[in-house]
Each structure stands twice: as C-alpha cells, then as structure tokens.
Amino acid sequence: MAVSAPLCNFGWKATDFELTDTFGTHKTLESLRGPNGLLLMFICNHCPYVKAIIDRICRDAVEIQAMGIGVAAIMSNDPHAYPEDSFANMQKLSKSLNLPFPYLYDPTQGVARSYGAACTPDFFGFNKDLELQYRGRLDSSGIKPAEPDARRELLDAMRQIAATGQGPTEQIASIGCSIKWRGQ
C-alpha cells in the first residue's frame, strides 16, 4: 500500500545520529553534511518505488554533491520481515550500483523514528544550518519511472537550498512503501 510523506516542517533541525554504512564505516550527521547542507534519503532494497528511481537518485546525488551538499541514504526497515533489506543485501546493492553516497543501516529504527520517516523513498533536504527545507519527491515518478524529461523537483529544490538556504514553498510529498516497523 502506498504511503505519502508529510509535508515539510520548515526549520526543523536535523537530529544527530551515528550509523554504519555498507563499508563498515561509522557516519554521523556532522561527518555527512556538506558546507551547503545535507540530503538524507530513507530508502530500502525491496521497495518498487525505490527500484523505479534508484538510477535517478544516483544521477541527482552526484549533481547535489557538486553543490556542496552532503548526500546519504538510510535503510530502516525490519530485515527479519523483509530479508531483501538485510545488511548483506544492502552491501550487495551498494556495490552492484556503485552508489555515489553512503548507504547506512538503522538497526534500531531509532533514526527513522526521530526523523518521522514515513515511506521509502522519503527525502529530507537540509540547509547549511541543518534546518529542514525540503520534504518532497524526487520527481513525478511513482511505482514506474516518470518520463525522461520530467521536472527534477528534488534537484531543483536542493539547488535553491544551496544558493539561498531556503527551499521552495510549494512541494509535492514523496510517495512509496511504508517503513516496515518491527512488530507490525
């Protein structure tokens, strides 16, 4: 069942965390941020919405990093209920796609809860002061990719954040699979 992320709570401050990436390196909020901000994405391996756009996520991440914005993805699903989302499978995906950003594992689901992550994908775009400025979608893709010339909403928003510190006032919420919480 598709779930939409809530709209942007402008100015909400990113909460600190320490997670391990698929290479075994510990990453913190501070180590991930760039001089112009940070993009955190909650994704997973099994979600058809993520699978439909992972190539676009990678493409846009490279351009966003060139703007001085750090980029990272976090996987918070319960891997016992969804084995495709296991840490070993995260490592395989990261390697096979040569992800251009750290792919972090949230084993306690604490980071997803502290951010209020709702679905995969769920995008959180922060300015240089780590204040939330974007909680929208990548583009008009859904369970299938949008047309190749679709407006790159996330990229445009992050470009605006890098230049002005503020995100667009009009944002369309991301849609995807719900976070797979333990015990559900």
Are 43 and 74 in contact, with CB atoms under 8 Å apart? yes
Q: For residue 124, what are the β-bridge partners?
A: 40
H or E element that contains 158: helix 153-164
E-state strands within 46-149:
69-75, 103-105, 119-120, 122-126, 132-134
Q: Mean per-residue pLDDT for 69-79?
A: 98
Q: Mean per-residue pLDDT for 1-19?
A: 89
pLDDT score, position 178: 96
Distance of CA 99 to the CA centre of its chain: 13
Predicted confidence (pLDDT) at residue 184 exceeds the cutoff of 80: no
Backbone φ and ψ of 76, nearest 5°: -115, 0
Q: How far is CA 133 from CA 80, 98, 128, in A?
A: 33, 28, 10
pLDDT tens digits for range 76-112? 999 999 999 999 999 999 999 999 999 999 999 999 9
Within 10 angstroms of residue 96's Cβ, the number of other Cβ atoms is 8
Within 10 angstroms of residue 92's Cβ, the number of other Cβ atoms is 14
Domain 2-178 is found in CATH 3.40.30.10: yes
pLDDT tens digits for range 114-142? 999 999 999 999 999 999 999 999 999 99
Across 2-16, 73-87, 116-130, 161-175, least confident range:
2-16
